[in-house]
Amino acid sequence: MARETGLKRTPLFDLHLELGAKMVPFAGWEMPVQYPMGVLKEHLHTRAAAGLFDVSHMGQVILPAGAVAALEALVPVDIAGLGLNRQRYAMFTDAAGGILDDLMVANRGDHLFLVVNAACAEADIAHLRAHVPGVEVIADRALLALQGPAAETALARLVPGVAAMRFMEVATLSWEGAELWISRSGYTGEDGFEISLPEARAEGFARALLAMAEVAPIGLGARDSLRLEAGLCLYGHDIDTTTSPVEAGLAWAIQKARRTGGARAGGFPGAERILAELAQGPERRRVGLRPEGRAPMREGTEIFAAESGGAALGRVTSGGFGPSINAPMAMAYLPATLAEGTLVYGEVRGKRHPARIAPMPFHPHSYKR
């Protein structure tokens, strides 16, 4: 429901206030940015135990099973080859090969289940409705994410069946009569789950998890530092219509079937550019940066080849301090000719500071394969 602020609220809004959350506007919603524990401790708690995130602002969409070909015409991803009860990362592309949004697609047998970003949900749904028959928007379910090495232990107390799931697997399970749509996935680099459930049951389920010693509520602030340490893109920052999937380092998400010579090569928006970049390489690419001091290089910081003079090579798209690595980190688009280990300079408040092109993720992933 929209309030006088014009912002929407998730079913857990009152619980966030009870837990002492600081609420901020985000993608048209009032969302918790942090709790009294603070962003640093929330981040480290998720890496050490389990963090509970309210991601009910994300868009949940169902497509009929017969919509596979229509959806494939919008993404450079193999949807037809997606196994039963499996999930896959995808992106909508435009005619110029840019990224309209990234999303998750699950094959749930008699239908496909999509989760799209909150900021793009309205545009994504309009895009789907213009090209795919039978689009059903799910408006009565919340979405929670439980992330961290203790996530399985905690969730299995309520839903024992999750222990058998593997990374990017989906399942329909139940808790006290409520139907849960669960995927073993997330946005932190940690093992974990995303759980769609009836909004009327969301608060009770969240309270049952938060009653466990391993589980703490985590806000958007730590969600951002966790995903940045994991080298994961944030739409509207690291990827958008000016970036192609290949430039963004997302070529791994384009399966053989959709590539040149594949069974269903091309046939998606921007295929000419994207397939050419897959074959020849892009002129620029998303890279990791490790600043050599302690000061972070934030989004928008321009990157140069030398300590003085010369034109900017590119700019930082996401940057901050990594609590788990105890150091600053950033991502930027730079010429593809620059190798890992290359020294570059970020201009912060008129002064250039050294940084090295570094491999990502900055913190290792720990998915349950």
The binding site for substrate comprises: 194
Binding-site residue positions: 194
- Ramachandran sector of residue 237 (left: φ over 0; alpha: ψ -120 to 50; beta: rest): alpha
The CA radius of gyration of the chain, in Å to the nearest whole number, is 21
Written as one string, the DSSP assignment of 196-252 is EEEHHHHHHHHHHHHTSTTEEE--HHHHHHHHHHTT---BTTTBSTTS-TTTTT-GG
- Burial label for 277, CB within 10 Å (0-12, 13-18, 19+), is buried
Check: CB of residue 331 under 8 Å from CB of residue 234: no
DSSP H/E element including 271: helix 271-280
Query: Strand pairing of 136-138 and 22-26?
Result: unpaired
Question: Is the omega angle on the peptide bond into residue 149 within 30 degrees of 0, that is, cis?
Answer: no
Answer positive or negative: Cα dihedral of 137, 141, 142, 146: negative
> What DSSP designation does 340 have?
T
